[in-house]
Amino acid sequence: MKQILATITVAVTLVASSASAFDPAHLKTLKDTGDCINCDLSGANLEDAKLMGAKLEGADLKGAKLGSAYLVNAKLKDANLSGAKLIGAYLKGANLSGAYLKGAYLSGAYLGSAYLEGADLSGANLEDAKLMGADLKGAKLMGANLEGADLEGADLKDANLTEAELSGANLTGANLNYAIMEGVILCNTTMPDGSVIYSGC
């Protein structure tokens, strides 16, 4: 009986570890070609990687380490980046429309002019992120931390910002038409018209 239990334990451990591990062949493809559409790169260490214009549509990058990665104009449409660490990453003009970024770490990341239409950023950490001119139409930002974020000129039409943290954020010229703002913290927040609000401080 003990032997059977031990075998089951080992099997479960192997399944659990393989479920969160990237495919080495896929990582090699990315390193060799700079592209990897629909690849399994979950948990991969890609810190400081130079992936300008990389084609990563539909890729599984959950839990991946992408700190300070250079992803200018990268194509990450519909990619899974849940829990990924993108601290200080440079994503100018990147296409993240429809991407799943729930709980991702994007503090200090540069996302100026990035495409995030319909992306799920609920619970993501975007503290001090640069999102100037970003397309966030219909994005899910429920409970996201946007403290100190720069959203000047960003398009947040139809975005869901329920209970998001926007203390010290800059929303100058941003489009908030039809955005859901229930329970949003706006403490020392610069609004689209340039006024500063102290709500929920």
The position carrying tokens 């194509």 is 75
CA-based nearest residue to 169, from 143, 140, 197, 193 = 197
Q: How many domains is the chain partitioned into structurally?
A: 1
User: Does a structural domain hold residue 8?
Assistant: no
pLDDT at position 20 is 57
In a domain, residue 79? The reply is: yes
% of residues, the chain, pLDDT over 70: 90
Comparing 7-16, 171-180, 187-196, which segment has the lowest mean pLDDT?
Answer: 7-16
Query: Is residue 10 situated within a structural domain?
Result: no
Helix (H, G, I), strand (E, B) or coil at 9: helix
Q: What's the CATH code of the domain at 70?
A: 2.160.20.80
In-domain check, residue 189: yes
Structure tokens at 141: 């930002």
Tokens of 52: 């300008």
Residue pLDDT, tens place only, 86-100: 999 999 999 999 999
For residue 140, the one-letter residue type is K
Q: Is residue 9 part of a domain?
A: no
The b/e string for 86-101 (b: 16+ C-beta within 10 A; e otherwise) is bbbbbbbbbbbbbbbb
18 in any annotated domain: no
Q: By residue range, what is the domain housing residue 171?
A: 25-201
Domain assignment of residue 17, yes or no: no
Give the predicted TM-score (pTM) of the model: 0.88
Whether residue 2 has pLDDT greater than 90: no
pLDDT per position as a tens digit, 47-58? 999 999 999 999
